[in-house]
């Protein structure tokens, strides 16, 4: 009888401890949102609750930002031409306008009319007529947007539209990191298509290893290289993500805002590594548009907060020194000179 009582007390103590301090466990979840398959994993206390909150946040942002939804804030803005942005959209628009300035227009959220012309918005794809492109280019340019960072009021020029798709997943990954932190998650990964955000360090203290797709063989188990990093976002842009071929020429969804055509500056893959998911997301697009030389010049001027992995059409890989020790590849690797 005494043994039974002692055993019962031990069980109660264990359960009390678990209830008080929580059980450390690993959980994962797959979610389809923002037109991509997402995977979230985390280890620590309250992992299921953390994933529940993360999924709610993803759904909320998708509903808020999607240009494919008639009731989204961005669709309504594009239809009306003006409005007062929510706090989330304010943060993204403000960052987008800053990056537009520093990249000399290589990243531009006002490419939406161009995206519609190419039908990259609904996946039907077509090559626009030159006069159509010329007309859409007249509407392109974030410098034409009237925006107040104090009030969040935004006014678009007649016929303009914006698309936050080039920055939304990066913003979402930053938000999910905040949620993980709020729920006491110790470490985890946030994979949003080509955007991967690592939270904390691996349980064994070793760096996370992130494989970058080989843009020449993206559907195979073949990699451009592997980046080792801790607590940072790794975001890749490539022409293999959404494209079509017409009359023997390949067209992809990363448009050059200055020409209206698919960016064609000698790069086939751009990966940005940064603490900031929103910065990594936007710069992966901007650097793809800028090409190798302009991207290197940009990094030398502004690169305190990010590193790069660039691959050219001739299969040469260029990386910045900050990630060179933790980067492996079977391709020729060139470490970009110091700033």
pLDDT at 95: 97
pLDDT at 159: 92
The DSSP secondary structure of 257-294, one letter per residue, reads TTTSSBP-SSEEEEEEEES-HHHHHHHHHHHHHHHHHH
pLDDT at 21: 37
> Among the listed ranges 11-15, 37-41, 86-90, 280-284, which one has the minimum average pLDDT value?
11-15
Angstrom distance (rounded) from CA 93 to CA 139: 17
Angstrom distance (rounded) from CA 176 to CA 331: 34
pLDDT at 23: 56
pLDDT at 125: 82
Whether residue 293 is predicted with pLDDT greater than 50 in this model: the reply is yes
The DSSP secondary structure of 37-92, one letter per residue, reads EEEEEEEESSHHHHHHHHHHHHHHHHHHH-TT-TTSHHHHHHHHSEEE--HHHHHH
Angstrom distance (rounded) from CA 310 to CA 91: 28
Whether residue 15 is predicted with pLDDT greater than 60 in this model: the reply is no
Mean pLDDT of all residues in 306-328? 96
pLDDT at 65: 93
For residues 250 and 106, which has the higher predicted lDDT (pLDDT)? Answer: 106
**Prediction pTM value:** 0.90
Whether residue 16 is predicted with pLDDT greater than 80 in this model: the reply is no
């Amino acid at each position: 009888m005494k043994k039974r009582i002692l055993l019962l007390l031990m069980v109660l103590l264990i359960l009390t401890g678990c209830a008080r301090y929580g059980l450390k466990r690993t959980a994962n979840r797959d979610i389809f949102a923002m037109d991509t398959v997402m995977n979230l994993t985390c280890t620590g206390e309250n992992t299921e609750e953390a994933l529940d909150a993360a999924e709610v946040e993803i759904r909320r942002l998708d509903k808020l930002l999607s240009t494919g939804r008639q009731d989204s804030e961005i669709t309504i803005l594009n239809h009306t031409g003006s409005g007062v942005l929510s706090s989330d959209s304010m943060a993204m628009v403000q960052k987008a306008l800053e990056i537009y300035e520093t990249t000399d227009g290589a990243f531009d959220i006002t490419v939406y009319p161009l995206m519609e012309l190419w039908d990259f918005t609904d996946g039907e794809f077509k090559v626009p007529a030159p006069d159509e492109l010329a007309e859409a280019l007249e509407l392109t340019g974030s410098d034409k947007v009237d925006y107040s960072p104090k009030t969040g009021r935004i006014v678009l020029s007649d016929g303009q539209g914006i698309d936050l798709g080039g920055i939304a997943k990066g913003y979402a990954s930053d938000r999910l990191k905040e949620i993980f932190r709020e729920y006491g998650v110790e470490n985890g990964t946030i994979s949003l298509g080509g955007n991967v955000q690592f939270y904390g360090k691996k349980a064994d203290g070793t760096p996370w290893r992130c494989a970058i797709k080989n843009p020449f063989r993206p559907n195979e188990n073949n990699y451009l290289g592997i980046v080792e990093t801790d607590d940072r976002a790794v975001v890749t842009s490539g022409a293999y993500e959404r494209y079509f071929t017409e009359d023997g020429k390949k067209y992809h969804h990363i448009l050059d805002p200055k020409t209206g055509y698919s960016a064609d500056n000698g790069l086939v893959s751009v990966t940005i590594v940064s603490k900031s998911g929103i910065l990594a997301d936007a710069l992966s697009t901007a650097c793809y548009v800028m090409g190798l030389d302009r991207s290197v010049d940009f990094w030398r001027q502004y690169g305190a907060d990010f590193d790069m992995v660039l691959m050219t059409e001739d299969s040469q890989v260029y990386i910045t020194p900050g990630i060179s020790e933790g980067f492996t590849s079977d391709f020729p690797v060139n470490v970009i000179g110091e700033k």
